[in-house]
Amino acid sequence: MSTTTVTSTTAPPTVVGPSTFRATRPTNKLPQYLIDESYTMKDIGLEGQGISPTAVTTPFQLFTEEAIGRMRAEIFRMGPARAPFTCDAWNSPEVLEKFQRYAAINVSVDNHTTGLAKENESNDDNLPAFAWRRDSYPFVCVTMLSDCSGMTGGETALKTATGEIMKVCGPAMGTAVVMQGRYIEHQALKAFGGRERISMVNSFRAKLSLVRDVTVLTGVRSTSNLSELYTEYSEYRLKALEERVWARLEKERQRQLTRRPFNIDDMKVFLTE
């Protein structure tokens, strides 16, 4: 599998936490065309930002109908101990390999932030399912758990660097959409028809600790057990820091062995990252 890592010095965009459950549509001029292929960050004017060239994909088949059925049986259970099939599925080599193929980078799943998004019924046709937002984690994978037969709408709208709004076709049951949501402002549009619309949202970060990590907790604090969240977040960040320090130490040892001069500017960049 070939993966690409983007080295970016651009400051990541600010994530705004949820302040209301009732969103408003910022514009009524949403285009009627859909993305018919996967788009890169360059395609939407964000080249050089993010940790991967991938911006967003069209829906692709990720789970079988049987697997979705087992996940639905566990969707309201909290934690790996009560939802073993779902946890094992998202950590399986097959699922991670497929995700990494679309994301174009090696990733690790964040099991603490696996969540559900259930769209509520509304009589307001102009009301999006969720407000414009950026995610707290670099990548997100949205998997549909409901049968969307007979539904209309439900696309994901995203803003390009020029402010243009594009739409990605909504997923069908068992399919998923991958998006680098930490850097892309996006919004879930409302779907009509059908009895329910439940999707599973999983967050991913770069597996390699040397890749710049811009994860924040703004968007997940309000829906998390804070003690567990801070414990797991601190553990993973400290482990990543340890790996980065050891890698830098090895680099310095190699520099001394090859008798190259000390690079002050390079060390300053490392210490301020």
Backbone angles phi, psi at 12, to 5 degrees: -70, 155
Alpha-carbon radius of gyration of the chain: 20
CA 248 to chain centre: 28
Contacts of 225 (CB under 8 A, 6+ apart): none
pLDDT of residue 15: 64
Cα(14)–Cα(23) distance, rounded to whole angstroms?
Answer: 19
Order of strands across the sheet with 156-159? Answer: 165-168, 156-159, 186-188
Segment among 129-133, 151-155, 256-260 with least mean pLDDT: 129-133
Backbone angles phi, psi at 268, to 5 degrees: -65, -40
Q: What token pair was written down for 215? A: 């994860």
| Exposed/middle/buried for residue 179 (C-beta within 10 Å: 0-12, 13-18, 19+) | buried
Report the pLDDT averaged over residues 109-113.
Answer: 65
Judge whether 5 and 52 are in contact, CB under 8 Å: yes
pLDDT of residue 111: 62
Contacts of 185 (CB under 8 A, 6+ apart): 13, 132, 133, 134, 158, 159
What are the tens digits of pLDDT across the range 195-204?
Answer: 788 888 888 8
Sign of the torsion formed by the C-alpha atoms of 8, 13, 17 and 21: negative
pLDDT of residue 33: 46
Number of alpha carbons in the 13 Å side-chain half-sphere of residue 191: 27
Residue that wins the pLDDT comparison between 27 and 50: 50
Which residues partner with 198 through β-bridges? 118
Cα(267)–Cα(248) distance, rounded to whole angstroms?
Answer: 9
Cα(15)–Cα(168) distance, rounded to whole angstroms?
Answer: 22
Pairing mode, strands 54-56 and 39-40? antiparallel
pLDDT of residue 54: 92
Judge whether 116 and 198 are in contact, CB under 8 Å: yes
What are the tens digits of pLDDT across the range 159-202?
Answer: 999 989 988 887 789 999 999 999 999 988 888 887 788 888 88
Say how many Å lie between the first and final Cα of the chain, rounded: 29
